[in-house]
Amino acid sequence: MVPEVEEAWVARELPDFCSRGPYVGTDDDEGLRSAILTASAEGWEGPATGVVARSLDAATGRQLAQAVKRGVVFSALGREESRLDTMGWAWQVLRMSEEAIASAASPWGYWTASTKNQVSRWRDAASPEESFDPSMMPIVSDPLPGECDAPLVGIGEIGPVLGGAVEALVVAGVDETLAWAGMRRVAELAMSASSRAHTSAAQDPRLADLGYSPAAARRMMTLVKGSRRGTKAPVLGLGPDQLRERAQEVADLVRDSGVPALTT
């Protein structure tokens, strides 16, 4: 349910639309402006409404990628669930602020910024807009289907031990929020069943939703615990150069998987 942010709030659901048809790219502010003005003049019931909806659908994965990621990390949504939810918020923002968006110098930029502010404030309340505080990471008590039963680990507990590894992941290109979230989940799995920790990481739905492929999740576990055969040392036994190299291996696997968990 969308929270009421002002007295004049009226819920506006994203309309049904055909995925095939014209849409406006994110590099075309004038095209978006024209589509919004036309849709408004049609009472949001004509062909232009479909153009705007398709434009949002095409743009969400890139234009609102950070908002989608925050939905996964801070609101415990699946990746596709977060994408659709973010689209819903964006549509609500558009309908509430259509005049301001259409008259902005950059309609795409204004719409994107307004949507990010709304989801950060109301949906992802634990996610600060300007900075990331690991202590704000939520504790999720309900396991995902098929998820390994693992003890909950707080960010404060792993920070002193694994903070350097997280920093190395960020330097290698992994988004900071997802680096902390992934490291926390790996630490939980590492404590659950040491003999199956690497397999559990590779099969863990939560790591998958965060954007870690099975290979990347397994390599993350190797970074933390070392290899199962003892050929690679755990994080506490790594020097600075080794830590950077191992973190880069994780980042490369995330990049190769095509999952948008890297900084841009």
Residue whose entry in the numeric block shows the structure tokens 């309340």: 125
pLDDT by residue (tens digit) across 160-196? 557 788 888 888 888 887 888 888 888 888 776 566 7
Residue type, 63: Q
- Residue-wise pLDDT for 201-230, tens only, equals 888 888 888 888 888 888 888 888 887 666
Handedness of CA 63, 67, 73, 79 (dihedral sign): negative
Quote the CA–CA distance of 225 and 103 in Å, as a whole number: 54
State pLDDT tens for residues 52-105: 999 999 999 888 888 888 888 777 778 888 889 899 999 999 998 899 999 998
Q: How many CB atoms lie under 10 A from the CB of residue 122?
A: 13
Task: Count Cβ atoms below 10 Å from residue 240 Cβ, excluding itself.
Answer: 9
Instruction: Assess contact for 198 and 207: CB atoms under 8 A.
Output: no
Predicted TM-score of the model (pTM): 0.52
Show Cβ contacts of residue 103 under 8 Å, excluding neighbours closer than 6 positions. Answer: none
pLDDT of residue 162: 75
Per-residue CA distances from 216 to 49, 149, 157 (Å): 40, 20, 23
Chain segment 138-148, per-residue pLDDT in tens: 333 344 344 44
Instruction: Give the closest residue to 32 by CA, choosing from 108, 96, 95, 117.
Output: 108
Residues 6 or more apart whose CB falls under 8 angstroms from that of 48 comprise 35, 36, 38, 39, 42
**Which residues are CB-neighbours of 162 under 8 A, at least 6 positions away?**
183, 187, 224, 235
